[in-house]
Structure 1
Amino acid sequence: MQSEDKGQQHKLQLIFSMSTLTRRMRLRFQSLQQKNARPQDGEKLLRPNEHIYRVDFIQQHRLRFLRWDMQLERPGKVTVTGTSQHWTPDLTHLMNRQLLEPVGIFWKKLGAKEVECNEADAQEFGERIAELAQIRKVMYFLLTFTGGLEPAQLKGSVVFKA
């Protein structure tokens, strides 16, 4: 998390960090398999390429979305989906209906230096996060990695004007 002061302009960079919930959700999946049980109706079970991340809002009010800062060390794609669940930190029973729209899709092509995205969706998604920050101290995200990209190859954050 970084904060910059330039005159009256104050930028707040909130970094995506891997959540321990990824492990708990994987254990839930294993438990269901071992018991030969079915998930709850609508329950989201993590696929191997999906991971839960979190962003901690050190400031909640008067945030205005500025930009995404997504750095991919290699070609591939990451899809960032927000969750509406905020009343409990236990996402082991994350439901599909709790996944928010739009999603942020970021990709890097072979030989490219810059990460690309669908700017309209990324802008709308960032603005929605700024709104949700007013009522949350933490927000969870489902990140889906494709094209050979892995979590260790991502450095991501969202930047706001405070």
Structure 2
Amino acid sequence: MAADGPKQLQLSMPLVLDQDLTRQMRLRGESLKLRGGRRQDGEKLLQPAEAMYRLDFVRQQKLQFERWDVVLDKPGKVTITGTSQNWTPDLTNLMTRQLLDPTAIFWRREDSDAMDWNEADALEFGERLADLAKIRKVMYFLLTFAQGLEPADVQASVVFNQL
């Protein structure tokens, strides 16, 4: 037996950003327009090129960030921003001040099939998510699409190792 003890098994855990809450968020904006209401101070209402996704951390203990898996089906750019907000049924408490830094930005150029990303920020963001997963069971992500991308053109997941 080695002096440092047996090695711990690492399980790869991809968590897919697929629980789309965009419709619920857009209903909030429509409701305000119909009632002639105003958004709350600091409240984030979705713009046309934005979508909101939920991610459940089913296993919370000792997660280690491994990588982002993002695929863009066509050229364009997507920015993934985490939010520290807690769930309310209509997400009215999503506040701009609760959006986390850094963001992860992924893009594909018109003349290339290769993906590019802001590697340092994406790594820092992933490591921060691993820390937040210790105390949160759910996180929310704001995806902002640019340069012709739409939600159907993007598949995104964050991969952790469970130690």
Q: TM-score, normalised by structure 1?
A: 0.89
Contact kept? 1:24, 1:92, Cα under 8 Å: no
Q: Counterpart of 1:32? A: 32
Superposed, 1:1-162 pairs within 5 Å as 8-19=9-20, 21-86=21-86, 88=88, 90-162=90-162
Residues 104-138 of structure 1 deviation map (CA, whole Å, 9 limit, x = unaligned): 11111113222111111000000000001111111
* Distance (Å, rounded) in 2 between the aligned partners of 1:133 and 1:90: 23
Query: RMSD over aligned Cα, in angstroms?
Result: 1.5
Query: How far 1:87 sits from its partner (Å)?
Result: 5.3
Letter matched to residue 143 of structure 1? L
Identity of paired residues, percent? Answer: 59
- Matched AA of 2:72: L
**AA in 2 matched with 1:160:** F
Distance 1:131 1:154, change over 3 A: same
Taking a change above 3 Å as real, the CA distance of residues 120 and 74 of structure 1, as seen in their structure-2 partners, is same
Question: Does the Cα contact within 8 Å between 2:82 and 2:103 map onto a contact in 1?
Answer: yes
Instruction: Please say which structure displays the higher CA radius of gyration.
Output: 2
**Could you list the runs of 5+ residues in structure 2 that have no partner in the other structure?**
1-7
Q: CA separation in 1, counterparts of 2:40 and 2:78?
A: 27
Shift of 1:92: 2.6
Which digits, 9 at most, give the CA deviation of each residue in 1:11-53, with x for residues without a partner? Answer: 111111142x311221111121122221111110100111101
| Deviation (angstroms), 1:55 | 1.4
CA distance in structure 2 between the partners assigned to 1:105 and 1:80 by the alignment: 6
**Counterpart Cα distance in 2 of 1:89 and 1:82:** 18
Q: Which amino acid aligns with 1:64?
A: Q
| Structure 1, unaligned runs of 5 or more | 1-6
